[in-house]
Structure 1
Amino acid sequence: MRRFIMLALLALVIALPAKADVFVFTAIPDQDESRLQERFDAVGDYLADALEVEVRYVPVKSYAAAVSAFRNNQVQLAWFGGLTGLQARARVPGSEALARGAEDEGFRSYFIANSSTGLEPSEQLDEALRDRTFTFSSRVSTSGRLMPEFHLRERFGESPDDIFARVGYSGNHSRTLRLVESGSYEVGVLNYAVWERELAAGNIDTEAVQVIWETPGYLNYQWSIRGDVDQRFGEGFTEQVREALLGMDDPDLLERFPRREFVPVTNEDYEELGETARAIGLID
Structure 2
Amino acid sequence: MKTIISSALLGGAALTLLSSCNKSTEETDAAMSPNAVLRFSAIPDEDTTAQDARFQPVADYLAKELGIQVEFVASPNYGASVQKFAGGDIQLAWFGGVTGVQARQQVEGAKAIVAGEADLAFKSYFIANTSTGLTRSEEFPIAIKDLKFTYGSQNSTSGCIMPTHFIMESSGQTPQEFFTQEFGFSGSHDKTAELVNAGTFQVGALNFKTYEKGIASGAIDEAKCVVIWETPTYADYNMTAHPILDEQFGEGFIDKLQTALIECDDDAALAALGREKLVAVENSTFDGIASVMEKVDFKK
Q: 1:169 aligns with which of 185, 194, 207?
A: 185
Taking the TM superposition and a 5 Å limit, the aligned residue runs for 1:127-138 are: 127-138=142-153
More displaced 10-residue stretch of structure 1: 155-164 or 145-154? 155-164
What is the one-letter code of the residue matched to 1:78?
Answer: A
Are the aligned partners of 2:119 and 2:235 in contact in 1 as well (CA < 8 Å)?
yes
What is the one-letter code of the residue matched to 1:235?
Answer: E
Taking the TM superposition and a 5 Å limit, the aligned residue runs for 1:37-186 are: 37-164=52-179, 165-186=181-202
What is the one-letter code of the residue matched to 2:57?
Answer: A
Report the structure number with the largest CA radius of gyration.
Answer: 2
Residue ranges of structure 2 left out of the alignment (5+ in a row): 1-31
Stretches (4+) displaced over 4 A: none
What is the one-letter code of the residue matched to 1:249?
Answer: D
Q: Deviations over 1:126-185 (max 9, x none)?
A: 221122111110111100011100000111111112222121111100100001111111
Q: How does the TM-score come out when normalised to structure 2?
A: 0.85
Q: How does the TM-score come out when normalised to structure 1?
A: 0.90
More displaced 10-residue stretch of structure 1: 54-63 or 271-280? 271-280
The two structures, once aligned, show a CA RMSD in angstroms of 1.5
Show the counterpart of 2:234: 218
Q: 1:214 to 1:25 in 2, by over 3 A?
A: same
Shift of 1:35: 4.7
Between Structure 1 and Structure 2, how many residues are aligned? Answer: 266
Show the counterpart of 2:38: 23
What is the one-letter code of the residue matched to 1:107?
Answer: F
Identity %: 40
Are the aligned partners of 2:150 and 2:205 in contact in 1 as well (CA < 8 Å)?
yes
Distance 1:213 1:35 in 2: 30
Are the aligned partners of 1:39 and 1:253 in contact in 2 as well (CA < 8 Å)?
no
Q: 2:266 aligns with which of 250, 260, 269?
A: 250
Are the aligned partners of 1:123 and 1:213 in contact in 2 as well (CA < 8 Å)?
yes
**1:33 is paired with a residue of what secondary structure?**
coil
Shift of 1:256: 3.3
**1:218 is paired with a residue of what secondary structure?**
coil
More displaced 10-residue stretch of structure 1: 194-203 or 217-226? 194-203
Shift of 1:258: 2.1
Residue ranges of structure 1 left out of the alignment (5+ in a row): 1-16
Q: 1:113 to 1:223 in 2, by over 3 A?
A: same
**1:49 is paired with a residue of what secondary structure?**
helix
Show the counterpart of 1:10: none
Shift of 1:280: 2.6
Distance 2:92 2:142 in 1: 42
Q: 2:217 aligns with which of 198, 201, 205?
A: 201
Are the aligned partners of 2:58 and 2:270 in contact in 1 as well (CA < 8 Å)?
no
Distance 1:139 1:18 in 2: 40
Distance 1:94 1:235 in 2: 14
Show the counterpart of 2:292: 276
Q: Deviations over 1:173-208 (max 9, x none)?
A: 010000111111110000001111121222211111
What is the one-letter code of the residue matched to 1:147?
Answer: M
